[in-house]
Amino acid sequence: MRVIIVGGGIGGIATYHSLLKHLPPSSTVDLYEAYSPSACKSAILGGAITVGPNGQRAIASITPAAIPYILERGFQSSVITVRNDFGKTLAQLPFGSPDRYGYSSVMVSRAIVYEGLMLGADTDARIHWSMRVKRVWETEEAAHVEFEDGSIESCDWLIGADGAKSKTRDALFDDNYATQYEGMTGFCGVVPISNLSPAFQEALRKQPSATMTLSTGGHLGLSLSSPPSDADPSVFWFTSIELSSPPARDTPPGDLKAILLGQYKDWKSPFDTPEQNLFAEVMSVSCSSTRENSFLILPRWYTPPLPYFTSLHGLASSSSSCGAKGRGRIVLIGDAAHAMPPDAAQGVSLAVEDALVLALVLKHYLSTSKTESEAIPQAAKSYEDIRLVRVNKILVNAKARQNRKKRATPIQQWVREKMVWMASFLPEWFMNDEIFAYDVEHQVATHLGITTKDLLA
């Protein structure tokens, strides 16, 4: 059996290693990535991210060596502190208790997660770099991908892990579910605390925390993204501003500095002095730095919830030579299936869950079906049944969270603050179990009606 993965970001690499781990040795897995290896580990991957307990659990199942690598280089936090723009603490909300979930949430450079997943065996054996996809289609016997250099590859199963602007998704839907600009653009950056004033360096080391500040003017997040014990820890900041159209991603940071400072320079933190403002200083340093990932422009793209993630239900007219109905040979994962607003802090975690589910259901049906041709549609259907409801529910919730972080009237802000305060009295199981307690191996075994031991045997 030959499997092709289109896209070599975190979701694609996780899928690659998960398939190598669970498929028979006779199987072949090829990954095609549009960028070079160095580009994949640079700013193309973005700044820092949050990986929840559920995502870490899935990563541990796929590439066990990745977890200590990530945790040793990230900032782990079991709570998130929510404040208003006067610096008043509204609540400390649970963000993943290790006692309950086995892991806390970790804020870490996206490149570190990528590097951790690349620790898997045979990482570069069949990864093909600088191969940009032109189109994907399916026939009765195979799935096919054409690259911009004119070459064509065929396979039994093709997995689209090619992000929010997925060419693979076009094979199923054309532009009927095209990714949409949400009217908000994200700005973020990672800066070493040594670039900040001594007072702020000391405060962030002594009281490290993940924080979210809410105001009538929007929101602003701030957290360490590496251990406070490091010689020079990094600080990660992020926000989104409502803009009718996003600025170009290569816009010089200095051109945007005035916009950001105009919005946030008067917001307070508990560490401010009459002469110094933490948020203004972090943004000023970030906008002035030439260091990689010090300042990133990330327009928010949103994919409407898809009705399905596989070609079992049909293909775009341009992508089928065997009629309107496909045979499940094309599957979407990660942002290609569910471009997730960052407000849920689940984009990477859900992509890694997708990767593990795919490998486990394919492993099961290859071992129980008479032929590979029988196994493929069964695996595609099970993947979809397991993932569709979960990810679309989180997608809708993330969209609602995003709307609560937009500009608000004073009355709306007062209501928001009261809701945050009341949420601090809710038990963690009520707030987080549905997302953080999710165990892919258990969910797949339950769906298939077998034990986890038999699934992994």
- Judgement on whether residues 214 and 141 belong to the same structural domain of the protein: no
**pTM attached to this predicted model:** 0.94
Together in a domain, 310 and 232: no
Q: What does R_g of the chain's alpha carbons equal in angstroms?
A: 22
Q: Which of 267, 300, 333 is the last residue of a domain?
A: 300
In this structure, what CATH number is given to the domain that contains residue 50?
A: 3.50.50.60
Whether 96 maps to a domain, the answer reads no
Domain boundary pick from 284, 300, 316: 300
Closest by CA to 361, choosing from 391, 333, 394, 336, is: 333
Selection from 381, 350, 376 nearest residue 362 by Cα: 376
Tell whether 24 and 148 lie within a shared domain: yes
Residues 158 and 241 in one domain: no
Banded pLDDT at 323 (limits 50, 70, 90): very low
Same domain for 20 and 118?
A: yes
For residue 381, the surrounding DSSP H or E stretch is helix 372-404
pLDDT value at residue 41? 60
Residues spanned by the domain of 52: 2-74+109-179+303-417+427-456
Each residue's pLDDT tens digit, 89-122: 999 999 999 999 999 999 999 999 999 998 876 6
pLDDT tens per residue, range 354-388: 999 999 999 999 999 999 999 999 999 999 999 99
Same domain assignment for residues 18 and 144: yes
Kindly report the average pLDDT of the chain as a whole number: 92
Contact 291, 241 (CB under 8 A): no
Question: Residue 138: which of 166, 172, 174 has the closest Cα?
Answer: 172
Q: How many domains does the chain have?
A: 2
Fill in the amino acid letter for 130.
S
Specify whether 328 is located in the same domain as 438. Answer: yes
Does any domain span residue 93?
no
Q: Give 47-76 as a DSSP string.
A: SEEEE-HHHHHHHHHH-TTHHHHHHTTSEE
State whether 283 and 330 are in the same domain.
Answer: no
Q: What is the mean pLDDT of residues 158-169?
A: 96
pLDDT at 342: 84
Establish if 139 belongs to a structural domain.
yes
Spatial separation of the C-alpha atoms in residues 185 and 205, rounded to whole Å: 30
How deeply is 21 buried, as exposed, middle or buried, from its count of CB atoms within 10 A (0-12, 13-18, 19+)?
middle
CA–CA gap between residue 56 and residue 106 (Å, rounded): 9
Residue 131 domain-assigned?
yes
Residue 425 is predicted with a pLDDT of: 97
Does a structural domain hold residue 62?
Answer: yes
**Would you give the distance in Å from CA 298 to the centre of its chain?**
13
pLDDT, mean of residues 411-428: 95
Same domain, 311 and 291: no
- From 256, 285, 300, the end of a domain falls on 300
CATH (domain of 227): 3.30.9.60
Q: Kindly tell me the burial class for residue 271, based on how many C-beta atoms sit within 10 Å of its own C-beta (0-12, 13-18, 19 or more).
A: middle
Q: Which residues of 275-294 are buried (b: 16+ CB within 10 A; e: fewer)?
A: eebbbbbbbbbbbebeeebb
Q: Are 234 and 361 in the same domain?
A: no
- Whether 244 maps to a domain, the answer reads yes
- Tell me which residue has tokens 């038999």: 454
How many C-beta atoms lie closer than 10 Å to residue 89's C-beta? 13
Task: Compute the C-alpha angle 304/306/307, nearest 5°.
Answer: 135
Reported as type and span, the H/E element at residue 117 is helix 110-117
The answer to whether position 166 is within a domain reads yes
Res. 47: pLDDT tops 60: yes
Q: Same domain for 329 and 449?
A: yes
pLDDT digits (tens, 9 = 90+) for 186-208: 999 999 999 999 999 999 999 99
